[in-house]
Every structure is written in structure tokens, then in C-alpha cells.
Amino acid sequence: AASLAELATILVKSRIARGWTQSQLAEVLGIAEQQVQRYESTGYRAASLARICDVASALGVEISERGELRDPNAA
């Protein structure tokens, strides 16, 4: 994924490829199915970075991070 928005799509597609329902993912994460539904319907925008990492780990998705400081003087 080249962006966080694409990462959300990868998480949903990974769940489906694994053959898991939202309910099964919720059970693994220890949260309500409705929360998984909300995460997926909003592209994980309301999820914390820690939760996104939990979801990725549960699905076997590896995330590697890259941070880059662009021009520090740019507004």
C-alpha cells in the first residue's frame, strides 16, 4: 500500500482472502463485530494505529513503516 487509505483496503481484502467473516476477526481481536463493521465501512479512519497493527497482525499482514521529514521550513 502506498497510503494509509490503501492499507484499509488491503486489510479488508486480506480478511476476505483468509475466508474470515467480520465476526471471526472481531472474535480474534476481542472486540464487537459492529466495531469491525465500523472500521471497514470508514476505511479504518477511526481506528488507532495500535488497532490497525492488531488487525494486520491477526490477518498475517506485514506492515513496514517509513517516515520522512520533508522540507521542515514548508508550511
- The predicted-structure confidence for 20-39, as pLDDT tens digits, reads as follows 999 999 999 999 999 999 99
| Start-end of H helices in 1-75 | 4-18, 22-29, 33-41, 49-59
Segment (H or E) for 73:
none
Q: Residue 68: pLDDT above 90? A: no
pLDDT at 74 (0 to 100)? 67
